[in-house]
């Protein structure tokens, strides 16, 4: 069942004429040039950040040059602040200046911020050029690089400006994760766990048994990434533009986003994956308190997240967060809000998540008070 | 054949789940509220400019309010300079502040600039909200409001940043054109003529006989607009994202855009439709000089454009334009350029236009010199 050596895996995202492959394995960055040349591009606009440039840009550029591609690099500051209207404008201008044309490709080399920023820029330069995602964080490999959601933040909220723009190819180099700080790897792991909790209890069980191997690297890591991508690809294929099923991917995110907003997106205090970990634990506790799932299941979720060092309670956030009312206010300003109704992803057990629009604000408030009190 | 009273016309744009209606007729702005309410929207973000606001905003808002819709208005300065990254950012922020949500609608009330700007903002707010186009210029009614091309200008070229975002409905109020300056109406008329020249020689003949009625208003105007929209809708339905046929709509535009760029988009000297008129006359003269079409057809095109007061030669542009090399340089920086090959729309006769990628730079240069010399 578990192979002894890491092998490349291929996951197909099935979206008719926008279908594409996700490749997962070691050393894929060094193959970027050949694989992009095979798409028929001539010029590649590489978008990356200062940190990733130091670690991986040389490998990527060497590969592009070796394949005979013309490459122009646009480097932005590392961090969430680059997901802004102003930085987007600079990236767009850089791609136009580099003469990236309709048959060409933008290469997003970096984590989720770079993927969202470069993907959005590619969506709007010349009304759309192709994007190849080369995610270098676990979070980006298992989540943001797959599915075509791109965008930047507005001062009024995260990801409020963006586009659906599917990549032409995703190159998830599992070896690139060896350079990730432990905290960032762990945060990405929260999204891996999420796929088990949504609808794959066997995968959750496999993670409980094999998480050490995923963290150490090797075949378990490749398998965990591929399983996650396959799960996301299936949801995206069913619901590309988030009218229904895709909302399940927000398990843990309604609470998580509110917590991130409460710390003003201060990554020192809480990174996205940590917010999701706390949010998933809260979603299961909320589900248990509503009588939807067993207390044992909620405890099992909390135990596994805690076992890998992820936070599971809003009380653990350094500096604390505001009260229940403040969290609820953040949850109301969410782009998935429909006519003022809150949407929660709740669960009837591990692997039995569902979308609920039946929760009253009073119920949410009472639960938030119990979590913070 | 020609009805005595103007009747509303309906043109369907057939794009599977993105299909929509274009309604053409008098008094449609006063019906905007009822028709947008029928789409299921609750909040309407109205985007308009200062000039159009003075003429038509009261009618539109009265109609939206009467239909029980919440309306928020964003007014930008009139003119092409509003098609900028900075103004786009302000419109996007205004729509987010107005809480235009996924089920809601942005109403573009104005000419081509407003349609392109508001349409693009709608494409990227919350990764896409619906847009209803209410074009108030002839140019916008017969061209830019139909087909989903949206965008803003880059300092490096026009329309280099944008998205394809089909409207949910187009309301072309033929009566609104009574407030247009004569020069602007005439410029829009160039695009009407274009549809005849592309593939409908009978329509071109009808225009030769009936142009006075189109300019005066009444049933001929509604018919000319509807025929133009029907022609554009057919091309868009065949080629939504401009991979092939849609390029025919650029008849007159390769030369026209170069001329506009040469006068630095100074609308005092040359407005877009005038550039298209000169460009179409040039395309037919170029075709004749290449032996593709008869000199008589080229002369007939020029005669009709001149008959309604449109310019037909680059020598007539106030202040003049630079040399052939300068024009060619503009033509090279076009988002439709593929691997450096120039694309021309040429003709084998009236109503027999085709896409040509076989013209050498030397041929183009020689022709431009003959036009300017």
**CATH assignment of the domain containing B154:** 3.40.50.1970
Total domain count, chain A: 2
Residues B116, B265, B318, CA angle at the centre, nearest 5°?
A: 140
* B336 labeled binding residue: no
Contacts of B163 in chain A (CB under 8 A): 123-124, 127-128, 163
pLDDT at site B341:
74
Please indicate, yes or no, if residue B313 is contained in any of the structural domains.
Answer: yes
Structure tokens at B93: 């922020």
φ, ψ (nearest 5 deg) of residue B136: -115, 10
Last residue of a domain, which of A179, A198, A230?
A179
Q: What is the ipTM of this complex?
A: 0.89
Contacts of B128 in chain A (CB under 8 A): 163-164, 241
Kindly name the residue from A35, A83, A130, A149 that is annotated as catalytic.
A149
How close does chain A come to B13, measured CA to CA in Å?
20
* A114 labeled binding residue: yes
Dist CA B55 CA B178 (whole Å): 11
Kindly name the residue from B80, B191, B240, B260 that is annotated as catalytic.
B191
Contacts of B97 in chain A (CB under 8 A): 156
Are B134 and B279 found together in one domain? no
Are A128 and A255 found together in one domain? no
Are B345 and B283 in contact by the 8 Å Cβ rule? The answer is yes
Are A169 and A78 found together in one domain? yes
Return the residue in B124, B164, B242 with the most chain A beta carbons within 10 A, the one to mutate for interface testing: B124
Are A269 and A348 found together in one domain? yes
CA A268 distance to own-chain centroid: 19
Please indicate, yes or no, if residue A1 is contained in any of the structural domains.
Answer: no
* A151 labeled binding residue: no
Are B140 and B20 found together in one domain? yes
How close does chain B come to A44, measured CA to CA in Å?
14
pLDDT at site A338:
59
pLDDT by residue for chain B (373 residues), tens digit each? 344 445 789 999 999 889 999 999 999 999 999 999 999 999 999 999 999 999 999 999 999 999 999 999 999 999 989 999 999 999 999 999 999 998 999 999 999 999 999 999 999 999 999 999 999 999 999 999 999 999 999 999 889 999 999 999 999 999 999 999 999 999 999 999 999 999 999 999 999 999 999 999 989 999 999 999 999 999 999 888 877 778 899 999 999 999 999 998 888 999 999 999 999 999 999 999 999 999 999 999 999 999 999 999 999 899 999 899 999 998 887 655 555 678 899 999 999 999 999 999 999 999 999 999 8
Cβ B154–A92 below 8 Å, yes or no?
Answer: yes
Last residue of a domain, which of A179, A195, A217?
A179
Structure tokens at A288: 């248990």
Helix (H) or strand (E) holding A62: helix A58-66
Helix (H) or strand (E) holding B215: helix B201-216
Are A245 and A172 found together in one domain? no
Cβ B123–A85 below 8 Å, yes or no?
Answer: no
Dist CA B12 CA B28 (whole Å): 17
Identify the closest residue of chain A to B157 by CA–CA distance. Answer: A96
Are B194 and B201 in contact by the 8 Å Cβ rule? The answer is no
Please indicate, yes or no, if residue A334 is contained in any of the structural domains.
Answer: yes
Query: What is the edge-to-edge ordering of all strands in the sheet holding B20-25?
Result: B9-13, B20-25, B169-173, B130-135, B105-110, B43-49, B70-76
Are A139 and A283 found together in one domain? no
Are A339 and A206 found together in one domain? yes
Last residue of a domain, which of B153, B179, B205?
B179
Please indicate, yes or no, if residue B81 is contained in any of the structural domains.
Answer: yes
φ, ψ (nearest 5 deg) of residue B216: -75, -20
What Cα–Cα distance (Å) separates residue A284 from each residue in A78, A242, A278, B149? 34, 23, 10, 45
Residue A270 above 50 pLDDT?
Answer: yes
Please indicate, yes or no, if residue B221 is contained in any of the structural domains.
Answer: no
Q: Are strands B9-13 and B20-25 parallel, antiparallel or unpaired?
A: antiparallel
Are B132 and B146 in contact by the 8 Å Cβ rule? The answer is no
CATH code (residue A226): 1.20.1090.10
What is the residue range of B333's domain? 251-373
Dist CA A133 CA A92 (whole Å): 17
CA B263 distance to own-chain centroid: 20
Q: Is B191 a catalytic residue?
A: yes
Dist CA B189 CA B185 (whole Å): 6
Are A110 and A44 in contact by the 8 Å Cβ rule? The answer is no
Please indicate, yes or no, if residue A191 is contained in any of the structural domains.
Answer: yes
Of the candidates B146, B241, B124, the residue with the CA atom closest to the CA atom of residue B191: B146
Residue A94 above 60 pLDDT?
Answer: yes
* A137 labeled binding residue: yes
Are B283 and B136 found together in one domain? no
Dist CA B367 CA A160 (whole Å): 49
Q: Are strands B353-356 and B344-347 parallel, antiparallel or unpaired?
A: antiparallel
DSSP per residue over B262-316, as a string? HTTT-TTT--HHHHHHHHHHHHHHHHHHTTSS-HHHHHHHHHHHHHTT----GGG
Contacts of A163 in chain B (CB under 8 A): 123-124, 127-128, 163
Tell me B12's DSSP state.
E
Please indicate, yes or no, if residue A148 is contained in any of the structural domains.
Answer: yes
Query: In this predicted model, what pLDDT tens digit does every residue of B250-305 receive, in sequence order?
Result: 999 999 999 999 998 888 999 999 999 999 999 999 999 999 999 999 999 999 99
Kindly name the residue from A130, A221, A253, A285 that is annotated as catalytic.
A253
Please indicate, yes or no, if residue B240 is contained in any of the structural domains.
Answer: no
The residue with tokens 């997240």 is A305
Of the candidates A289, A303, A284, the residue with the CA atom closest to the CA atom of residue A350: A284
pLDDT at site B3:
42
Q: Is A304 a catalytic residue?
A: no
């Amino acid at each position: 069942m578990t192979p002894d050596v890491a092998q490349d895996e291929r996951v197909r995202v099935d979206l008719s004429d926008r279908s594409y492959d996700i490749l997962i394995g070691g050393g894929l960055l060094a193959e970027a040039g050949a694989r992009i040349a095979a798409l028929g591009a001539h010029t590649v606009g590489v978008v990356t950040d200062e940190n990733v440039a130091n670690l991986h840009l040389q490998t990527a550029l060497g590969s592009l040059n070796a394949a005979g591609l013309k490459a122009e690099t646009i480097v932005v500051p590392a961090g969430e602040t680059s997901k802004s209207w102003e930085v987007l404008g600079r990236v767009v201008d850089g791609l136009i200046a580099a003469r990236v044309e309709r048959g060409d490709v933008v290469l997003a080399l970096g984590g989720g911020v770079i993927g969202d920023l470069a993907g959005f820029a590619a969506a709007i330069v010349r009304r759309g050029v192709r994007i190849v995602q080369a995610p270098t964080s676990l979070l980006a490999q298992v989540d943001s690089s797959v599915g075509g959601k791109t965008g930047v933040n507005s001062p009024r909220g995260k990801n409020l400006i963006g586009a659906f723009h599917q990549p032409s190819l995703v190159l998830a180099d599992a070896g690139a994760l060896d350079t990730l700080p432990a905290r960032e790897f762990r945060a990405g792991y929260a999204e891996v766990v999420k796929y088990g909790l949504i609808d794959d209890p066997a995968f959750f069980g496999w993670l409980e048994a094999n998480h050490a191997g995923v963290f150490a690297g090797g075949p378990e890591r490749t398998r965990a990434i591929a399983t996650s991508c396959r799960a996301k690809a299936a949801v995206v294929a069913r619901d590309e533009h988030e009218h229904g099923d895709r909302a399940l991917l927000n398990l843990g995110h309604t609470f998580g986003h509110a917590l991130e907003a409460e710390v003003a997106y201060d990554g020192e205090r809480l990174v996205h994956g940590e917010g999701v970990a706390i949010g998933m634990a809260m979603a299961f506790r909320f589900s248990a308190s509503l009588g939807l799932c067993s207390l044992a299941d909620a405890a099992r979720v909390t135990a596994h997240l805690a076992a890998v060092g992820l936070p599971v309670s809003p009380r653990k956030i350094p500096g604390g967060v505001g009260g229940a009312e403040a969290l609820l206010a953040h949850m109301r300003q969410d782009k998935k809000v429909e006519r003022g109704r809150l949407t929660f992803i709740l669960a009837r057990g591990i692997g039995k998540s569902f979308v609920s629009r039946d929760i009253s604000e009073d119920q949410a408030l009472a639960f938030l008070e119990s979590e913070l009190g």
